[in-house]
Amino acid sequence: MAFALSAERENELDQILSRYPNKMAACIPVLHLCQDANEGWVSADVIAFVAGRLELSTAQVKGVVTFYTLFNEEKPGKHQVWVCRTLSCALRGSEDILRHCEKKLGVKQGETTRDGKVTLRTAECLASCGTAPMMQVDKKYYENLSMTEVDRILDRLLYDGDA
Amino acid sequence: MLKRTDYLTKNYGKPDGWKLAAYEAAGGYRSARKALGMSKDAVIDEAKKAHVRGRGGAGFDCGVKWSFMPKESTKPHYLVINADEGEPGTFKDRTIMEQNPHSLIEGCIIGCYAIGAHACYIYVRDELHLSKERLWGAIAEAKAKGHLGARPFGKDYAVEIYVHTGAGAYICGEETALLNSLEGRRGEPRLKPPFPAQYGAFGCPSTVNNVETIAIMPTVFEIGGDAFSKLSELHGINDGGCRLFGVSGHVKNPGIFEAAVGLTLRELIFDLGGGVLDDRAIIGVIPGGSSCPIHKPDEIVDVAGDPRFEPYNGKSVLDLPLGVDTFRGIGSMLGTACAIVLSDAADPVLAYHNVMRFYRHESCGQCTPCREGMGWIERILDKIVAGTGTIEELDQLSDIANSVMGNTICAFGEGAAQPALAFVRRYRKELEDYVHNGGKNQTGTLTT
């Protein structure tokens, strides 16, 4: 089925377009909007929709999607967890955090739990070096992590469905 | 010399400290009002007197950059704020956007006026959701109060500010990649010239400034450019004012601290950062983001023939004031002034591996030397860490890094080659130990 936005999101799309001198500049914000409306990923239908609305070729939009790490080309889990692995976090124990997450979720980094609830990923520096180690869950940062805190966060995702 | 200031940070941590009421109670928006009553040339001159060296890492003088914008132009001008903070070890701009967003908005009004722009885009990396929320909130508050929009402060100079979002790419912190990304393209850097001041966003004259550079501008116009510059111990060499310093890694009290320029690494680590974690010895310090070369604490400043360095020659690199030109002078880089500290609990070989993995991951792939070179360096380090590397391969690391240096469209090449070379030079023995002992003398984790 062709991809479409709700009336509310259509309104948001118009607002985004009003900020720029041309339609192409809205490409990344509009892709975010559509990805959020499409269970967290950019399908071929989404690319066709964005290309149509912004008067771009699908090749141009696909080129943007493949360049940036935050556009998912496959459907992710209901929640996405990114463990920062860059130097400042690694100096404060991010490797242990990641291993702990892998064990607790029963997946390797890059994979989604079998019930589709959580996708575990690593991230490069998230500008949270002074509060390392840290991880991002959906749109929220969790900083100065301890293993107990990580357990609490993951339990909420796995059993309550909310961070 | 340690001299704390609180121009940017006075409302940090206070309840609702990021809101307009708190900002105005502390004197906010007086500077933009004042600047809009001055001539554009006078605004640029005042900014030049302040000697604000770009806080994003390149250290270019902000007032001078503004003066590059064409005076006569039929095209619109744009101010673009680089809020794509992602240089490993750097977390200062995020604190401004989350805890003092109005300083950035006020700075944008001043900046727009100075360069003849009526529109400003703040390019925030997507992950910083709270920053985006606070910035949109600050824009709405400023508009409602009449500080922003068609007639800011009743003056006939319209300014609109928009928050634009990225989608996860370190390279978009490079200004021309950022402009491509803003235009809705892949974030690949552009060849220069033409420079953004001639051909920037949407083919129009544009200035790209770092968040902190612009957020400090209200302070410059509040206390005066000259007085601002003189806060700094290095104002004599045109490195003025105060800035945010950060410290992370193996320190007891990591964080962001505001102080006058002239602060040393030793003061940052011990006086502000509370000293080294577990009181261990330092084995290395990266002065300002991982693109800067790492230094050992026993390195001595020795710059012959430059009178600016006479007071520092013979001292430890930890006692050299953190300035753009002081660190450039010793063949290093100040970067973002957010230091990463490695104690002897860290394995420098694994730290090296971690840093180079980052650059391989983030190379945009446009230029062959960088795209292939980063992969080669990472694979050699994979082997060395696994205990299967050879001395010949260890020697190749410097050759590869030197082949990347200067052979790429943007500065990412240098930013990746510098740490690649610095780690080999300073931790050659530790790397050789990995080759000879198969890496089995190590624990396999970065920090014991």
Cα dihedral B59, B64, B66, B68, rounded to 10, equals -110
pLDDT at B440 over 70: no
Name residue, tokens 């505001």: B258
> Looking at CA atoms only, how far is residue A118 from chain B in angstroms?
18
Please judge whether B76 and A67 are an interchain contact, meaning their C-beta atoms are less than 8 angstroms apart.
no
Instruction: Render pLDDT for B373-385 as a digit per residue (tens, 0 to 9).
Output: 999 999 999 999 9
**What number is the average pLDDT over the span B273-277?**
98
pTM of the predicted model over 0.80: yes
> Looking at CA atoms only, how far is residue A67 from chain B in angstroms?
6
Q: Does B355 touch chain A (CB under 8 A)?
A: yes
Please judge whether A140 and B129 are an interchain contact, meaning their C-beta atoms are less than 8 angstroms apart.
yes
Q: Name the residue facing B445 among A54, A95, A136 (closest C-beta).
A: A95
In this structure, which long-range contacts are made by residues B239-243, counting pairs with CB atoms below 8 Å and at least 24 apart in sequence? B239/B51, B239/B53, B239/B59, B239/B323, B239/B324, B239/B325, B239/B326, B240/B50, B240/B51, B240/B52, B240/B53, B241/B50, B241/B51, B241/B52, B241/B216, B242/B3, B242/B5, B242/B7, B242/B216, B243/B55, B243/B212, B243/B216, B243/B337
Instruction: Render pLDDT for B191-211 as a digit per residue (tens, 0 to 9).
Output: 999 999 999 999 999 999 999
So what's the pLDDT on residue B445?
A: 79
Please judge whether B168 and A68 are an interchain contact, meaning their C-beta atoms are less than 8 angstroms apart.
yes
So what's the pLDDT on residue A162?
A: 60
Which residues have C-beta within 8 Å of that of residue B249, sequence separation ≥ 6? A87, A88, A91, A92, A129, A132, B89, B339, B340, B341, B342, B343, B346
- Count of A-B CB contacts under 8 Å: 148
Q: Name the residue facing A130 among B246, B351, B362 (closest C-beta).
A: B246
* Cα distance between residue B351 and residue B250, in whole Å: 13
**What number is the average pLDDT over the span B238-252?**
98
* Cα distance between residue B401 and residue B414, in whole Å: 9
Cβ-based contacts of A41 with chain B (< 8 Å)? none
A161: left (phi over 0), alpha (psi -120 to 50) or beta: left
So what's the pLDDT on residue B442?
A: 63
Q: Is B256 helix (H, G, I), strand (E, B) or coil?
A: strand
pLDDT at B421 over 80: yes
pLDDT at A4 over 90: yes
So what's the pLDDT on residue A86?
A: 97
Q: Is B343 helix (H, G, I), strand (E, B) or coil?
A: strand
Looking at per-residue pLDDT, the higher value among A161 and B402 belongs to B402
What the block records as the tokens of B330 is 């010793």
Q: Cis omega (within 30 of 0) on the bond before B193? A: yes
Domains of chain A: 7-67 (1.10.10), 79-160 (3.40.30.10)
Q: Name the residue facing B354 among A67, A69, A87 (closest C-beta).
A: A87
Instruction: Render pLDDT for A65-109 as a digit per residue (tens, 0 to 9).
Output: 999 999 999 999 999 999 999 999 999 999 999 999 999 999 999
| A103 class by beta-carbon count within 10 Å (0-12 exposed, 13-18 middle, 19+ buried) | exposed
* Cα distance between residue B187 and residue B209, in whole Å: 17
**What number is the average pLDDT over the span B41-52?**
98
Q: Which residue of B has its CA nearest to A95?
A: B445
> Looking at CA atoms only, how far is residue B20 from chain A in angstroms?
23
| Mean of the per-residue pLDDT values of chain B | 96
Q: Which residue of A has its CA nearest to B447?
A: A91
Q: What residues form DSSP beta bridges with B161? A: B120
Instruction: Render pLDDT for B56-94 as a digit per residue (tens, 0 to 9).
Output: 999 999 999 999 999 988 999 999 999 999 999 999 999
Contact B310, B288 (CB under 8 A): no
Which residues 162-191 in chain B show a CB within 8 A of chain A? 162, 164-170, 181-188
Percent of chain B topping pLDDT 90: 95
Reported as a pLDDT band with limits 50, 70 and 90, residue B126 is: very high
So what's the pLDDT on residue B73?
A: 85
Q: What is the ipTM of this complex?
A: 0.97
Residues of A with CB under 8 A from a CB of B: 19, 21-22, 24-29, 31-32, 54, 56, 63-64, 67-71, 85-88, 90-93, 95-96, 123-132, 136, 139-141
Select from B197, B225, B224, B176 the least CA-distant residue to B366: B176
Please judge whether A124 and B170 are an interchain contact, meaning their C-beta atoms are less than 8 angstroms apart.
yes
Contact B425, B298 (CB under 8 A): no
Cβ-based contacts of B182 with chain A (< 8 Å)? 25
Please judge whether A130 and B248 are an interchain contact, meaning their C-beta atoms are less than 8 angstroms apart.
yes
Reported as a pLDDT band with limits 50, 70 and 90, residue A163 is: low
* Range with the poorest average pLDDT among B129-133, B337-341, B404-408, B444-448: B444-448
Percent of chain A topping pLDDT 90: 96
Reported as a pLDDT band with limits 50, 70 and 90, residue A161 is: low
> Looking at CA atoms only, how far is residue B44 from chain A in angstroms?
27
β-strands B242-249, B78-83 pairing = unpaired
Cβ-based contacts of B337 with chain A (< 8 Å)? none
Instruction: Render pLDDT for B284-321 as a digit per residue (tens, 0 to 9).
Output: 999 999 999 999 999 999 998 888 889 999 999 999 99
